Amino acid sequence: DVKVTQSSRYLVKRTGEKVFLECVQDMDHENMFWYRQDPGLGLRLIYFSYDVKMKEKGDIPEGYSVSREKKERFSLILESASTNQTSMYLCASSAGGRGTDTQYFGPGTRLTVL
Amino acid sequence: SQQGEEDPQALSIQEGENATMNCSYKTSINNLQWYRQNSGRGLVHLILIRSNEREKHSGRLRVTLDTSKKSSSLLITASRAADTASYFCATGLSGNTPLVFGKGTRLSVIA
C-alpha cells in the first residue's frame, strides 16, 4: 500500500513565524502535490512537483514556497505565517509521468495561525 | 481553476438506500476520478473512469461518464452508515496538468 505521511496532524503557530510542513511518500512516486482545503472552497492546489528539485506553481502559490531535495520528500514552507493561512493542508503523490494519474493523500495537517 | 462541480452539495439518506452524486465539468478530459474523504482526514481514491469508457463498477460503486454532456455520476448502492463522508470528483485534463478537484458532496447515511 502506498503510504503518504505528513509531519503533524495539528499545528498551532503565531503570526509571522516560519512554518515547515513535511510530506513523505514511500512508493517512489514521481509526482507530489500540496493542497489547502477550506470549507466551501474545496481543494486548492498550492504547488506541485514532477521531479526532484522541480516545482510548479498551482492555483494559489502566494505566501508559500516548496522544496523537493529528495524524491520521497516534499516540503511546504510558509515564510511568514498569517491568520488567513489557517487551513487544512493536504499532501498527495502519484506515480508516472502525468499529472492525471491517481493521487494518494496523506492524513492532512490542520494548521492554526494565531 | 475549478473544473468539476458536484451536485448536490449535501445529501442525507437512510441506510440501505442508494445515493447518487453528480459531477459536471467544462472542458475535455482524459479521465475522471472519484475520491472519498472522511471527516478531518485525507482523500481516498475510489474509482477512475477514462474518457473512452461509459460505465465502471467497483463493489457497491457504479460510475457513469457522459462526455457529450460533460457529466459523471457516482452511485453507491445499499448505503451504510460507514459511507458517511464527502465525495469529490477530479478531472484529469490532457497533457501534464494536475487533477482538478470539485468542491465535493457531503453524504450522510442515517442508521
Write out chain A's pLDDT in tens, 114 residues: 769 999 999 999 999 999 999 999 999 999 999 999 999 888 999 999 999 989 999 999 999 999 999 999 999 999 999 999 999 999 999 987 666 789 999 999 999 999
The CA dihedral of A71, A76, A77, A83, to the nearest 10 degrees, is 180
Question: Looking at chain B from residue 77 to 96, which residues have their Cβ under 8 Å from any Cβ of chain A?
Answer: 88, 90, 92-93, 96
Instruction: Answer yes or no: is pLDDT of B35 > 90.
Output: yes
Alpha-carbon A100 to chain mean position: 17
Instruction: Answer yes or no: is pLDDT of B2 > 60.
Output: no
pLDDT at B48: 95
Residue A84 at interface with chain B, using a CB cutoff of 8 Å: no
Question: Closest Cα partner for B98 from A21, A45, A96, A63?
Answer: A45
Q: Which of A10, A21, A43 to mutate to test the interface with B (most CBs of B within 10 A)?
A: A43
B95 pLDDT band, cuts 50/70/90, is: confident
Residue A89 at interface with chain B, using a CB cutoff of 8 Å: no
d(CA B82, CA B93): 31
Q: Is the dihedral of CA A79, A28, A53, A41 positive or negative?
A: negative
Q: Output phi, psi for A43, to 5 deg.
A: -90, 130
Q: How many Cβ pairs within 8 Å bridge chains A and B? A: 62
Q: Rounded mean pLDDT of B1-9?
A: 77
Question: Closest Cα partner for B101 from B22, B34, B10?
Answer: B34
